[in-house]
Amino acid sequence: MIRNRCTALTSAGNPCRSFAVADGLCQAHHPDRAEAHRAAVRKGGEARSAVRRAARLWASRGEQIEPGDLPALLRATLLDVRSGAVEPGVATAIAALAKASVAVSQDLELEARLARLEAAAGIAAPANVTNITSRKVGA
């Protein structure tokens, strides 16, 4: 069976190389399929994200991860990358999440210690200082 190519031009002005699905146009260029195309692109991008793959990996193993588990998890991930069982991008996401987890834990511990010291000294925290536990991630 011979499949026809899309007759539209790309944004660079080159002929589109995708296969036509209707009226000589591919899904990306067919005006009636624009929303379906955007949804497919969005879904594909989400499925390929390294963070999403790492989350699926953990969920598939049914594991609850505690801070003390991070060194063993990172060693296991390293071995999985070496054996080819885990993609390097997934390992990168796991390492970044582990690093962020440790940083947040350390920040929360320091904040709690400082609050205890201030309370023991009878010092109120300045009004212009935001409690770390009330900050939004990425703010």
Structure-block tokens of residue 82: 């070496």
Q: Is residue 27 part of a domain?
A: yes
Range(s) of the domain holding residue 70: 65-124
39/69 same-domain check = no
Read off the pLDDT of residues 31-43 as tens digits, 9 standing for 90 and up: 888 888 888 887 7
Q: Is residue 90 part of a domain?
A: yes
Judge contact between 125 and 115, C-beta under 8 A: yes
44/73 same-domain check = no
Tokens 């935001």 sit on residue: 130
**pLDDT at 75 exceeding the cut of 80:** yes
How far apart are the C-alpha atoms of 38 and 137, rounded to whole Å?
28
Q: Is residue 130 part of a domain?
A: no
Number of C-beta neighbours around residue 30 at 10 A: 18
69/41 same-domain check = no
Report which listed range, 1-5, 41-45, 79-83, is most confident: 79-83
Q: Is residue 53 part of a domain?
A: no
What's the confidence (pLDDT) of residue 108?
Answer: 87
Chain-centre distance for alpha carbon 109: 26
33/78 same-domain check = no
